[in-house]
Structures are given as structure tokens and as C-alpha cells.
Structure 1
Amino acid sequence: MSTPNTHRSSHAADVTPVTTDPVCGMTVRPDGQHRLSYQGKIYLFCSGGCLAKFQVAPERYLPAASGTPPAPPPTPAQPITAASAYTCPMHPEVQQPGPGSCPDCGMALEPMGVAGLETRTDYTCPMHPEVVRSEPGTCPICGMVLEPRSVVIEEGNPELADMTRRFRVGLGVAVPVFVIAMLSDVAGLSSASLMRWMQPLQLALATPVVMWAGWPFFQRGWYSLVHRRLNMFTLIALGVGVAWIYSTIATLGPGLFPAALRDAHGNVPVYFEAAAVITVLVLLGQVIELKARSRTGAAIRGLISLAPKTARLLREDGAEEDIPLERLQIGDRLRIRPGEKVPVDGV
């Protein structure tokens, strides 16, 4: 039986690498750093964790050996193009054909390419750019004919909208939880009658904050445990979840705890405000991060919108024709008129 190794011989270098991670099935870039030569093939992996699993038991992740009926050939997968693939900003080797979360850090995957951006045509005056119309016409200031320009339509960020909504609702409910928790510690307000309803009220208010507003963190935390790649969301889900579960048990069944943990009124200290406040603070951080990433994407789309959409092709007979950039081929000759933008790179 061959032993997997990472030695790259001249023969192995000529072998076309398998661009699908045999452990998790994720598509990996051909130039990924996690690779392994085994039985004459080079296998690529999305991370060092999958590579280590394969080294321990490669036969577990490969088709059955000869002598057993071969498995039916898999359905050819659609190639992942830059326009349809999603990748992690922190781990670009992670790619998949749809949105999701990064298995390494838990961040939401972003579209790789910018192809297929929706555009609209506006008409503006070259002398007065503040004049913008949706239809052809003349400038009301100088009378010049308005010129067309392509504008990229801004796409909404559903994750940012979702996190913002969760943050606003969570903040509105977490503030009363925090105030109630502080009032319970104020001298003269910690009577038995007040404590009897303060803890159940905190439970009622903190539960939607933790279980609804913070639900994405529990999803990502569970995802990290399933893939054995612990990250920030593992700690958040564990800390918030333990605080809420402990406080719920302490509120509904204080008699389950020893007398040393109960106060003079027979109540056990709870930490609903900690669970709610941590959830809201993490949501705030996610909103700030997503807004920053959204502004970066908007700047890139703005630059792309400045690029020309057509090029003037110079044919062999001297005729000129405006064609889309997608139809250009290597060796085509273009004419760049004075004041025009250079549509492509070339010599």
C-alpha cells in the first residue's frame, strides 16, 4: 500500500491535480497550498485539517479498491466560474458555487467575480455632470445634448439587512434586561417581592435576544463543531448559551442549587443581562464589519462602471466597428480615438 506524502517529484508535477477536496468535497483552487501526492495523483485540500484526515486514512476518502464493484460515475459538476463562485475574504482558497459560511472562520462567503452586474443607462451633460436624466434630452443649463453613460445598479446586501434588523430588535430588548439587572442590585430594591418577578421578567426579555437575534451565532458555532474547526463563533455560542441555560434553570428551579448559592430570599444569581448584552455587542460588530465590506464592494463596482463596454475594432479592410468587449480576441487591432478610454490591456 502506498504511503501518502507531500514530496513533489518531477513526475508528480506533471500530474493534473484533483481540484475537489476528497474529504469535504469542496472545490479548491489549483494553486492551493494544501496538497498531497498519493498513488500517482495529486490531491488538493481546502485546509490543513482535511489534509491531516486524508493522511491518516486515505482509503476512507477514495473510491473502493479493485475487486469491488465500482461506484457509478458521478454527475459532472458545473464549473465554478468567477461570476458564480463564493469565497471567504480571509481564506480565498475556500470556494463554493453558492452563498454560505467559511468552514475555517465562520465569515459569510462573498461573490468572487463582478461579472453579470446589472446596469442602467443614464443621460448626463458633459459640461454639467450634476444634470442626470433617465431619458435622452438636452441640458436645461447649456442646451447641450445629454450623453449616455452606464451606471451599475447597487445590489442590496441581505446579510447586512438581516444583521441590522436583529441588532435593532436585540438592542431594544436587551436594554430593559440590563436595567432590571442593575436595579436588582440597588440597595432597597432587592426585596423578596421584587426579586420574585425580576428574574422571570429577565428570562422573558432575554430569551428572544439570545434565541432569535443571536441565532446566526449558534448556527455558525454548530457548523464549526461539525467541521472541527473552532473559531470565534464557537466561543460566542458556547458563552452565551451556557449563561442563558444556567440562568433559566436557576430561575425555574432554584431549589436544584445548594443553599450556599442562594441569597437570603432563596434566589440564585442569574446572568441574563450578560447573555443579552454579549449578543447585542457581537451583532453590532457584525453590522460594522458588513458595512465596511459593503463599502469596499461598492467602490470596486464604481471603478468597474467607469470601464468602457465596447471597443472600436479595426478590420483588415480598414473598416471600423464597435463591438462588445466579450467578442475581442488576442491579435485584434483597436482604434483609440482622442479622449477615449482604453478598453483592454495590450501592446
Structure 2
Amino acid sequence: QMAMLAEQAQARKARVQTLVDRITTYFVPAVIVLSILVGAGWMLAGASFERGFAVGISVLIIACPCALGLATPTALMVGIGRGASLGILVKGQDALEASGTITTVVLDKTGTLTTGTMMVSSVAPVAGVAKHELLRIAASLEQGSEHVLARAIVSAAKKQITDLAPPHEFQAVPGKGASAVIDGERAHIGNLAYMRDHDIRIDRHLAPDTAGSVPETVAFVARSGSLIGTIGLTDTIKPGAKKAVKALHRQGLTTVLLTGDNRAAGADTAAKLGIGTVHSEVLPAQKADVVRALQAQGERVAMVGDGINDAVALAAADLGLALVNGTDIALRSADIILVRDDLAVIPDAIALSRRTLRTIRVNLGWAFGYNIAAIPIAAAGLLNPLIAAGAMALSSVLVVYNSLRLQNFHRTH
């Protein structure tokens, strides 16, 4: 599948290549007409037919846009190939082009910057409720969910509880919480907003609003419409995450942390990684809105994510990057798949793209400059067709050589 994606990537044209193709469409007929006019002009000026014809042919050969046609595709193909060897699978040449113009990188927290393996860090029941009972109710309810928080709660409960009750009439609200009938009573688990949506009173004396005061994800648990306690969960930052963020900053990029966790948890992670802007308590459907808001401010946005919740944001961003261990829908929505299990691949992808775009600009500059300078020389009769052919071939060789230098690109750190 990866090989197929690489082949498809080479078939998709970048915008700059489309522009070059359009220019070439007009450039070639113009050169043919110019060569005829130059040859005719020499003949009208008194030159022999052979001399006029040779000058016209020299103009036609020297102006052949081979280098112009090779300037973009060779650089993009070498860049894509080098990216694949570094664990950067680019779905299309247009994606590689887009990543070179990025100004802001939006990073999803859970599963991207963190391991995504949540662990129960605290169990705080209200007065009159045992920790064992709070954890049993929460885990019994969460058996019906595949959410990362649910798996953590169930895993923690099974280490000490063997009598989990089966959940009935399970209902989930994405990004907020879930409910089910446990032991004949309706139980709820979720964030503070979810509790308020279900008119469950949060008494600060019994269960303080920990969702905004401690750096952990807090799940409120209620039974029969009354709060019975909270469960705190924490995640672990991936090794190399801080180094990757620093590398992005060195490239002049702005980083933004995006998370559904509470403000304190989001701010704590951002502080540890050196990220200045944090959007916390963001629902799955709102992630794309954050991306669009940044775009409305004139930013060129790259979104990095791995889950189903990130799919829309990945598609909405100017450039979507998905971790290879992410969900299928995230991989389908992304423009670049990060195969290497190392967050350093993110700045690597941006750096490689910028290097590729610089190479394209140099190639195009040489190709255009060569034609602009060489055509008058040939029209003046200073080149014969043989020399013109050699110069034209040398121009193409130089463009290809410059593109092949991308193979020497090394990781950012």
C-alpha cells in the first residue's frame, strides 16, 4: 500500500508544475515562430539560405524548454523519494509543495504528543461512597465504550474488581461522556459540561471543580442523577516531543496545542513542551473550526493528528500529517503519513519540503535565465546548431543534478 501511495504521489502534479506546463504550452509555439522569424530576418538581411537556416535552427534548439520541463518534477520526485527513506510518506507532489509554505503547526495532544495510554491517577468519591464502588460503577459503564479514557478506567478496575456489572442502554456523546443503566440505575460519566447537560449538580464541597484546577483529565461519575465522585487520569508525553517542538520553533513556525482535555491539563502539557498557544476542551467537531479560524487570520496551517476525531481537521488544514499508527480515516484524510515512530519526523517533513521548494526555484530560475540569455546569443548568429544542442543538453543535466542533491538531505536533529 505504501508503494502504491508513493506511485500515486509521483503522478499528482504540484501547482507550480501545472503553471510551468501552462507556460510551456505558449512558450514552445512562440519559440518556433521566433526561430522562423530570425532565420527569415537573416536571409532578408542578405545572408545565404544555409546561414539563415542554421541561425534559425540554433534558436529553436537553444530555446528547447527541456530544463524548464524537468525543473519541477525531478525535484519533487527526488524529494518524495528522500522523504520515504526518512519515514515521510507523501501522498502527492502538491502536498510536498504545500508543506513548504506552512506558518503554523497545530498538534493534537492525545496520541500525537502523548503516548495515548491513559492511567488512572486518582479516585475521589463523595462522602458515603467507597472508592471501590465508585470505580466499579465507572468501569461497568465504560465497558460499552472504546474511548481511550474508558479503556484506562476499565483496565484499572479489573486489577482489583471482579464483579463489574453489564451496561444496558449504553449511550455516548462524542467528546463529552456516556451513560448506561448499571444495576438498574442510570449512571453517567463525563466532563463537567456533560454533567451540566444532564442537570447533575456539582457541589464544590463534595466534588470541587477539579476540571479546571489540576493537570489531569477528570471524569465526573454520577448515579441516579447525583454525583458520586471523580476519577482523574493522566497521560505520558512521548520521548522526543519537546525536541520536535523546539525544532519547529527553530524553523520559524508557530505551534498550537489542540486537546479535548481541561484547561489545566492542556496548559500543563503545553508548558512542558514549550508550546505557547493552547486550545483546551475542544470537541471533535470543533477541531476543524480552530484550523479554519487560524486560516482566516492568514496562517498556512499544518495539522498533526492520529485519531478519528482529527480526520476533519486534517482534511481542513492546508497540510494534514497523520501518524502511521493512527486510525484509517485519519490516514485517508492526511496529505502526509509519518511512518517513523519519532515526532522528529514532523520538523523533518517541513524542512525537506522547504529544501525541495528552494531547489525548484533554483531550477526554474536557471531554466528561465538560460533561455532568456541564450536566445539572443543564438539569434545573433554566435552559436551553430551543434553548440546549441550541447548547451541545451548541459542545461538539462544541471537541473537534474541540482535535484539529485536532495538525496543528501539529513534529518533536522
TM-score (norm 1): 0.24
* Higher-helix-fraction structure: 2
* Higher-strand-fraction structure: 2
Which structure would you say has the larger RCO, counting Cα contacts within 8 Å and 6 or more residues apart?
A: 2
TM-score (norm 2): 0.21
